[in-house]
Amino acid sequence: MNPYSQRIAEGIADNKAKLVTFDVRLSNTAGRSDEWFPIFPGTDGIVALAMANVIMQEGLADIDFINDWTNYSADKLSAYLKQFTPEMAEKYSGMSAKDIKRIAIEFASTKPATTYTYRGPAKHLYGSYNERAIMLLPIITGNVEKKGGYCLPRGMDYDQPEPKPAGGKEPSYLSTPPDYPLAEHKVSHLVPFWIKEGKQKVSVYMNYMCCEGYTHPAASVWREVLMDEKLIPFSFTFSNQMQETANLMDIILPDCSYLERHDPESMPSSLWPWVGIRQAVIKPLGEAIEYRETLKSIIHKIDPDGKRGMKKYWEFKNAEDYVRRQFDNIPGLKDVGGYDFLKKNGVWPIYGTLDPATGKIVDKNGNEIKPEYGIPYKEDANGKATIRGKKYKGFGTSDGKINIHAASYEKYGFNPLPTFKAHPWHWNKDGSSKLKDDDMILTTFKWNVHTQSRTPNVKWLTEIVHSNPAWLNKATADKLGIKHGDLIRITSPVGYIVTKARVTEGIHPKVVAVSNTLGTKFGRVAAAKKNEPPSMWGGTEDPDMKNIWWKAEGVNPNDIIPASADPIGGSQGWYDTVVKVTPAKAGDKLGDVKADNSKHFEFYKETMQYAYTGSKHREMHPEVKVEKLPPAELKTGH
Q: How far apart are CA 232 and CA 201, in angstroms?
A: 8
CATH number of the domain to which 595 belongs: 2.40.40.20
Domain-located, residue 360:
no
Work out the average pLDDT over 413-423: 93
Parent domain of 322 = 202-265+272-326
Same domain flag for 239 and 139: no
Q: Identify whether residues 463 and 604 lie together within a single domain.
A: yes
Query: pTM to 2 decimals?
Result: 0.94
C-alpha Rg value of the chain to the nearest Å: 26
Which DSSP symbol is given to 348?
E
Do 467 and 399 have their domain in common? no
Q: Which residues, 6+ apart, have CB-to-CB distance to 365 below 8 Å?
A: none
Q: What is the pLDDT of residues 5-56, one digit of tens each?
A: 888 888 899 889 999 999 999 999 999 999 999 999 999 999 999 999 999 9
Residue 162 included in any domain: no
- Angstrom CA distances, 252 to 185, 295, 300, 433, 443, stand at 26, 14, 20, 48, 33
CB < 8 Å & 24+ apart, contacts of 346-353: 346/276, 346/277, 347/265, 347/274, 347/275, 347/276, 348/274, 348/275, 348/276, 349/272, 349/274, 351/272
Question: Does 616 fall in a domain?
Answer: no
Q: Say which DSSP state 286 is in.
A: T
The pLDDT tens digits of the residues spanning 119-151 come to: 999 999 999 999 999 999 999 999 999 999 999
pLDDT value at residue 621: 53
CATH of the domain at 145: 3.40.228.10
Integer angstrom CA distances of residue 49 from 85, 100, 111, 570, 595: 8, 10, 20, 22, 38
pLDDT at 134: 98
Tell me the CATH number at 249: 3.40.50.740
Q: If you count them, how many residues does the chain have?
A: 638
**For residues 137, 103, 629 and 635, what is the CA-based torsion angle, rounded to 10 degrees?**
50
pLDDT, residue 103, reads: 98
Q: Considering only CA atoms, which of 131, 53, 60, 125 is closest in space to residue 89?
A: 53
Please check the confidence at residue 329 and state whether its pLDDT lies above 90.
no
How far apart CA 488 and CA 497 sit, in angstroms, is: 8
Give percent of the chain with pLDDT exceeding 90: 75
Residues 254 and 133 in one domain: no
Question: For position 496, what pLDDT does the model report?
Answer: 98
The total number of structural domains that make up the chain: 3
Tell me, yes or no, whether 357 lies in a domain.
Answer: no
Whether 584 is in a domain gets the answer yes
More confident residue, 216 or 153: 216
Ordered DSSP codes for 224-267? HHHH-TTT-SEEEEEESS--TTGGG-SEEEEPPPTTSS-EEE--
**What pLDDT score was predicted for residue 281?**
94
Residues 445 and 591 in one domain: yes
User: Is the per-residue pLDDT at 622 higher than 90?
Assistant: no
Residue 343 lies in a domain: no
Report the largest interatomic distance among the alpha carbons of the chain, rounded to a whole angstrom: 75
